[in-house]
Amino acid sequence: MMDNFIYIRPATLKDAASQLGKEHGKIAVIAGGTDLLGEMKDNLAAPERLVSIRHLADLQGVRASAGGLRIGAATLLADVVENPMVQERTPLLAMAAGKIGTPQIRNMGTIGGNLCQRPRCWYYRNKFPCYKHGGNTCFSAAGENDYHAILQGGPSYIVHPSDAAPALVALGATARISSGSRERMVPMEKFFVTPREDVRRENVLLPNEILTAIDVPNAPAGSKAIYIKEMVREVWDFALCSVAAMVTVKDGVVTEARIVLGGVAPVPYRAAKAEAALTGKPLNELSAAAAGVAAVDGARPLAKNAYKVPLTQAIVKRALLSLA
């Protein structure tokens, strides 16, 4: 049973921001609610006040901007997938957003919510007193860790569950964040927070801030991109591992590469060593395989998730060869 809460439907973004507090957890922003309401039903979250932003026109829709697109954070995932400008200018995002959940979830969930959702770790979801619940233990480290991090893990070994996030990092997108009176821009690559930086939260949003929009630059001229996601269930599931890959080839060699992994680290993981292994080389079987190996350089798998190392190598190679 949920605890009682106050529901507020502000008229403007400024009004919404004025309702927020100075402490995480007491007041929550709600748009689609596909994650938050589940947490509330399971007593994982008990906000005293819900501030709705789903209806705010300023936070909805896809608009052309100088050099790219601006996507309101309250835009439905289905609208992102189906938008002609997204499909034409940033097809990588359309591919990734189309892999999120089911059609029902995409018709309810928003892109901002997908980026800000909480971890799917079963210890967290079953209310173990782990780091995410204010404890001082990550139970997955020595427990059931089949789906946990092999890169950048510790002290918590969660993986970030978003499919949109790796694509937006690969595209060089920027998050627009508002506190009502002040707006700041954060590169999407810096929007997410590792447990080593702050074990209690997953992004840079302060308690009085709202993610309002994502600025996505047009894909570079001549670039190709793909999003591949490996799941336990092919119908829908969170990623065992995924890759958002975008490469530009000129005169037979790769001049620019962006490779971002999902499902293997607490944040969307930019595989810089894989990008370096590819840049300046022809895009072929040899360079794709080398990039796959470099992508998991430094991986530290846990007892039950070592399979993610060869799986990640394989999907990076497959993604790059599909672009060759």
| Full strand arrangement of the beta sheet holding 241-250 | 223-230, 241-250, 253-262, 269-270
- Return the pLDDT at 288: 98
- Return the pLDDT at 227: 98
Contact in structure between 126 and 168 (CB atoms under 8 Å) = no
**Contacts of residue 320, Cβ cutoff 8 Å, sequence gap at least 6:** 245, 247, 278, 283, 287, 288, 291, 292
- Return the pLDDT at 6: 94
Domains along the chain with CATH numbers: 58-116+159-217 (3.30.465.10), 223-323 (3.30.390.50)
Q: Measured on CA atoms in the order 163, 295, 270, 150, is the torsion positive or negative? A: positive
- Return the pLDDT at 181: 83
- Return the pLDDT at 23: 77
Element (H or E) spanning 248, and its range?
strand 241-250
- Return the pLDDT at 309: 98
| Backbone angles phi and psi of 56, in degrees to 5 | -75, 120
**Contacts of residue 247, Cβ cutoff 8 Å, sequence gap at least 6:** 223, 224, 225, 254, 256, 257, 258, 278, 283, 320, 323
**Contacts of residue 272, Cβ cutoff 8 Å, sequence gap at least 6:** none
DSSP string covering 51-110, please? Answer: EE-TT-GGG-SEEEETTEEEEETT-BHHHHHH-HHHHHH-HHHHHHHTTSS-HHHHTT-B
Q: Which residue, among 278, 279, 283, has the nearest Cα to 293 in the 3D structure?
A: 278
* Residues in the chain with pLDDT values less than 70: 1
- Return the pLDDT at 176: 98
- Return the pLDDT at 201: 94
At 241, which amino acid appears? Answer: C
State the pTM of this model: 0.96
Q: Tokens 């978003």 — which residue?
A: 162
Q: Which residue, among 278, 272, 263, has the nearest Cα to 309 in the 3D structure?
A: 263
Report how far Cα 252 is from the mean position of its chain's Cα atoms.
Answer: 32
Contact in structure between 263 and 316 (CB atoms under 8 Å) = no
Cα gap 141→137, rounded to integer Å: 9
- Return the pLDDT at 140: 97
